[in-house]
Chain A
């Protein structure tokens, strides 16, 4: 069957105006308002003073809004296979709906454009969440290691170095497989990992508000409720609100990524704490007779936030790359998943014949990580100025 095609100019116009307009509008509103009021927005506002910062924010907000509006932006379902469109070139018009496959079709006749846009949802959900959990794990273990030193430090550092000595790829091959899911290991590990945010929150509230039992009780109840939700949703796959469906293989990926990146956070936190604990305000708190955990969470940690924020930005990027690696090796993700790593893998097998299925996800992943790196760079520059 003969397909009709849009011309390259029409393809560009379609993508930029017909499809992506909600993203542009949202970006314009966000960045316009932020730029206007940048003087009052603190550290975030200062980012608008440099070109690097603005381009970082632009790239990130583009992908953020693309993920948010993905159901409006992508014309087709990312899993729909429309047989005539197999390996169709960019701009081919799907006969039934009359809508074009803007970036062509892949080897299973799915719309590449829709898959890239929908893939952003997976990446933008897992990467920041995994980084957040890894951060809490690293902070909870890094604080005592740096503050107490001695035995605590050498034990925890040895464990961290143990994980770091594993090449990431080997770790993934060992930890992410249907066989491992069968043993229930990911669930148990997830159970351990989700304990760290809870411990950190309890420590933070418990040390600060010990003198105000009522307030403390309310805070601990909230923590308990969140813990209940966290565990029932992610560890026992039974969300009480029925909103979020987590599969065992997604949890497997999540756990593996957290496991691979928390030792890095641990090392950074430990180093920062060792530096900060020699400051006068820490000595003052010690003289006041404060609880060591209070000093760690309320005196040391807030003063380590600058480098930690920069590191978190870089780390989300690194986590995205790890997720892509997992997808590229076909580990964990379902084979038809539209995430960027899997799509790159599928496309890269046919590069000699068709380049259009592999290039868009590759560029998408690169631009998202680039945005994060630029943001981290701008944040570092800003923190240097003070």
Chain B
């Protein structure tokens, strides 16, 4: 088991290196650098001014060298001013004039040129805000999906099953930007129960009124999928021999479902729930933009829109890490939960 986890962690590390390399390449494409230079100097800068700015701030250094600087394998060099004197690259991030080893490996994610602060100071509060949102989404989505799935799957082909299956199919057909619009129209514009914006959740704290719609919107899309997986798993378990035995020895249906079927039926959904995280990440971005909640998704959009290189790299690192770690947890967890699976 341990060697399995070690091997998976190795592959994960390799994947992260490859991916950051790809992202690094894409954000450093010539037109992207030009866009960054334009926002950093002024929007009417000439081609020479742009070139000189990029040259002086080290964006013209060899690609691999800059990747190594970002990773923390090579000392970061200061920028130089027009006279060739060393100046700190971005003073608002506390950069120094002396070259020093300061990259991801040392815990320094670089400097956000859009928010004029270090990436760490911007990214971690945003992640915390998104974490809160995710927590509530999970609290709504998982129990809801499991209940729907189990109710539908325990009597295959019944009226409840068919109704709930159609509901589940409907929810998988409703992406966040559709359900967000529909919920806002019904609950905010017409009924006026909830806020159509979660902007006040960032400034004045989370309340039932401003947080319900984002959570509902985000939960609905994933719920149908998990419910369908739970149903399939439940249907399979209910046809197993030991369930028939339990029924034949005279146990009541409710006891059979709760005591015998449920435990085995919930193994498969566990994997599915874990693999939902990458999907939720996209949903988070949609919901945070739609409901103006300042979390990870909002940060990502701002970083991408302004070609904020270090912040975008930081965001990619975080999201790729989340995707890979949830995959790992789902594999390891599955092996733990299901005694029939043995990994070599």
Complex Cα distance, B286 from A122, in Å, reads 22
Asked if A161 meets B15 with Cβ closer than 8 Å, knowing A179-B32, A351-B188, the reply is yes
Q: How large is the interface on B (under 10, 10 to 19, 20 to 34, 35 or more residues)?
A: 35 or more
Q: Report B162-204 residues with CB < 8 Å from chain A CB.
A: 165-166, 169-170, 172-175, 177-178, 180-182, 184-185, 188-190, 196
Contact present for B319 and A170 (CB under 8 Å): yes
**B29 and A374 contact, CB distance less than 8 A:** no
Contact assessment for B169 and A374 in the assembled complex, using a CB-CB cutoff below 8 Å: yes
With a CB–CB cut-off of 8 A, which chain A residues contact B289? 329
Q: B304–A174 contact, CB under 8 A?
A: yes
Which segment, of B19-27, B65-73, B141-149, B260-268, faces chain A? B19-27
Q: Are A377 and B169 in contact (CB under 8 A)?
A: yes
A351 x B175 contact (CB < 8 A): no
Given known contacts A169-B281, A325-B282, A377-B169, A359 and B35 CB-to-CB distance under 8 angstroms: no
Q: Which of B35, B180, B297 contacts A179 (CB 8 A)?
A: B35
Knowing A170-B316, A329-B301, the reply to whether A348 touches B286 (Cβ < 8 A) is: no
Residues of B within 8 A of A341 (CB): 177
Task: Name B177's closest neighbour in chain A (CB-CB).
Answer: A328
- With A and B bound together, what is the CA distance between A321 and B175 in angstroms? 7
Complexed CA–CA distance, A209 and B290 (Å):
56
Q: Which one, B19, B29, B172, B184, contacts A166 given CB within 8 A?
A: B19
Given A325-B282, A325-B286, answer yes or no on A165-B15 (Cβ-Cβ < 8 Å): yes
A344/B181 contact (C-beta < 8 A), A167-B323, A328-B286 known: yes
Q: Contacts of A168 on B, CB cut-off 8 Å?
A: 282
A-side interface residues, number (CB < 8 Å): 46
Closest A residue to B33 by beta carbon equals A179
Question: In the assembled complex, which residues on chain A have CB atoms less than 8 Å from the CB atom of B304?
Answer: 170, 173-174
Q: Which of A11-19, A40-48, A363-371 contacts B (4 or more CB under 8 A)?
A: A363-371
Partner of A355, one of B172, B173, B185, B324: B185
Q: Does A97 contact B (CB under 8 A)?
A: no
Q: C-beta contact mask, B290-322 vs A, less than 8 Å → 1, else 0? A: 100000010011001001000010011001100
A167 and B175 contact, CB distance less than 8 A = no
Structural contact, A351 and B189, CB atoms closer than 8 A = yes
With a CB–CB cut-off of 8 A, which chain A residues contact B11? 158
Give A29 Cβ to nearest chain B Cβ, in Å: 27
Contact A317 B300 (CB under 8 A): no
Q: Does B285 contact A (CB under 8 A)?
A: yes
B18 at the interface (CB under 8 A from A): yes
Let me know if B177 and A325 touch, CB within 8 A. yes
Min CB gap A46→B, angstroms: 18
Asked if A348 and B181 make an inter-chain contact with CB atoms under 8 angstroms apart, the answer reads yes
Taken together as a complex, chains A and B put the C-alpha atoms of A161 and B278 apart, in Å, by 13
Known A-B contacts A168-B282, A174-B27; A162 and B15 likewise in contact (beta carbons under 8 Å): yes
Docked-complex contact A174 and B178, CB < 8 angstroms: no
Query: When chains A and B are docked, how far (Å) is the Cα of A52 from the Cα of B173?
Result: 14
**Distance of A174 Cα from B316 Cα, bound (Å):** 10
Residues of B within 8 A of A377 (CB): 165, 169
Looking at the assembled complex, report how far the CB atom of B21 sits from the nearest CB atom of chain A, in whole angstroms: 10
B318 to chain A, nearest CB (A): 10
Chain A residues positioned under 8 Å from B48 (CB to CB): none
A183 at interface, CB cutoff 8 A: yes
Q: Given A162-B15, A162-B18, A169-B281, A373 and B31 touching (CB < 8 A)? A: no
| A317 and B174 alpha carbons, distance in the complex (Å) | 10
Known A179-B35, A370-B169, A373-B169; contact A359-B19, beta-carbon cutoff 8 A = no
Q: How far is the CB of B235 from chain A (nearest CB, A)?
A: 11
B177 and A169 within 8 A (CB): no
- Which of A168, A344, A348: most chain B CB closer than 10 A? A348
| Alpha-carbon distance between A344 and B188 when the two chains are bound, in angstroms | 17
A145 CB → nearest B CB, Å: 16
Please pick, from A161, A173, A345, A362, the residue contacting B182 in the complex, using a CB distance under 8 A: A362
From residue B331, how far is it (CB to closest CB) to chain A in Å? 12
A352 at the interface (CB under 8 A from B): yes
Most buried by A among B181, B281, B312: B181
Q: Is A332 an interface residue (CB 8 A)?
A: no
Which residue of B30, B185, B323 has the most chain A CB atoms within 10 A of its CB atom?
B185
A24-66 with Cβ < 8 A to chain B: 52
* A355 to chain B: closest residue by CB: B185
A324, CB-defined interface residue at 8 Å = yes
In the docked arrangement, what's the CA distance between A344 and B174, Å? 13
Given A165-B323, A179-B35, check contact A325 B180 (CB 8 Å): no
Residues of the B chain whose Cβ atoms lie less than 8 Å from the Cβ of A317: 173
Q: Give which listed residue, A161, A166, A351, A362, contacts B178 with CB less than 8 A.
A: A362
Which of chain B's residues has its CB closest to A328's CB?
B177
Is A182 part of the binding interface, using a Cβ–Cβ cutoff of 8 Å?
yes
Q: What B residues does A359 contact at CB under 8 A?
A: 181-182, 185
Contact with A along B1-22 (1 / 0, CB 8 A): 0000000000100010011001
Return the chain A residue nearest B315 by Cβ: A170
Which of A174, A345, A366 contacts B173, CB < 8 Å? A366
List residues of A whose CB falls within 8 A of some B CB. 52, 158, 161-162, 164-170, 173-175, 178-180, 182-183, 185, 317, 321, 324-325, 328-329, 341, 344-345, 347-348, 351-352, 355, 358-359, 362-363, 365-366, 369-370, 372-374, 377
Among all A-B residue pairs, the 5 with the closest Cβ atoms: A179-B31, A173-B304, A370-B173, A369-B173, A167-B281
13 other A-B residue contacts (CB within 8 Å) besides A329-B289, A345-B177: A167-B319, A169-B286, A173-B312, A174-B26, A179-B29, A179-B31, A179-B32, A182-B31, A317-B173, A321-B175, A363-B178, A369-B174, A373-B172
Measuring CB to CB, which residues of chain B are less than 8 angstroms from any residue of chain A? Answer: 11, 15, 18-19, 22-23, 26-27, 29-32, 35, 165-166, 169-170, 172-175, 177-178, 180-182, 184-185, 188-190, 196, 278, 281-282, 285-286, 289-290, 297, 300-301, 304, 307, 312, 315-316, 319-320, 323-324
A-B contact pairs, 13 of them (CB 8 A): A165-B15, A165-B323, A168-B282, A169-B297, A170-B300, A170-B319, A173-B304, A179-B307, A180-B31, A321-B175, A347-B181, A348-B177, A352-B196
